[in-house]
Structure 1
Amino acid sequence: MFTAAVLTVSDRGARGERQDASGPRIEAILKGCGYEVVHREVVPDETEMVEEALVRLCDERDVALLVTTGGTGFSPRDVTPEATERVCERMAPGIPEAMRAASMKITPRGMLSRGVAGIRGRTLIVNLPGSPKAAAENLEAVAQTLGHGLEMLRGGPADCGAHSGEGCTRQP
């Protein structure tokens, strides 16, 4: 079982003006996929605060998977991809490419997501959109393959059948 954390990036959520709907939905999907979700947090759309949370969760909490939701659009305040790129040592472009491809099958607006994925130390960081529906669809598009990548990242045998996503259930 891999550990995971969910970081929601939202100005209104951080101020308590909007309830975080994406974070709990992503947490439920991760738990359905066998992850132990050890942390969930909401931070505002401030580059430095997003970076600080990413670094803390990667370096201090040593989570295997850190999933962000929000801040991936075209708004001037949407800074999650830039913050993620700044803290990552290596990028994993295939993950957001797969998510956008899956999203494009649902809506042409899927191409507008600027989410990225990358590696910091032993942690994989994956950006998801802020909409609960889009976040869930994007995560479900890649969930079955992430375990294999995490097995390699964490120094395990990376047995292709060990974390194939079997048992990963779709959550409402």
Structure 2
Amino acid sequence: MTTQAHLRKYALALPEVEEGTHFGMVSFAVKGKGFASVTKDGYVQLQLPPNEAEAALAAHAGGERIVRAGKVIGFRVPLADVNGKDLNALVRAAWFCRAPKRLAASLAAAEGAADDTGGDLPAGIGKPATRALLGAGVRTLEQVARYTERELLDLHGVGPKAVRVLAEELARQGKALRG
């Protein structure tokens, strides 16, 4: 069972996402285009292309198509009926469906680079932190050392655990974050 807090955390971890309301529902948008919302009766609604909406429907028996003007525009399912991993995949697909092509391509490239950074960033910081650092042009611990703890935490996707892991790895090398 997933919660609205889980949805919020995952949606806001995606690039340039803003939380707001749409017709009284909590909603998430990228560059002003809504991609996910939660109804008052606990359904998560996701903007998806027809083929992905059909795949989601096949995977989640409690779900429904969202149809407007005779066209399938998405999928909705009770939030409590979808596990966290599946919800993350659906939210991600909805984000990619609505994000500007340049932004979506940038995230896809960063994710590809996260698998092979070409640097010495420790895997223990996690993929969101790795993507955030790569997005800021940081590929090595030497480059990380040029940042303060606050500057790292200000990067969307870098949390206290990632900063701690980075600081520990820098200390092992006799280095430290900028004071």
Instruction: Name the TM-score, length of structure 1 as normaliser.
Output: 0.39
Structure that is richer in helix per residue: 2
More relative contact order, 1 or 2 (CA 8 Å, 6+ apart): 1
Instruction: Name the TM-score, length of structure 2 as normaliser.
Output: 0.38
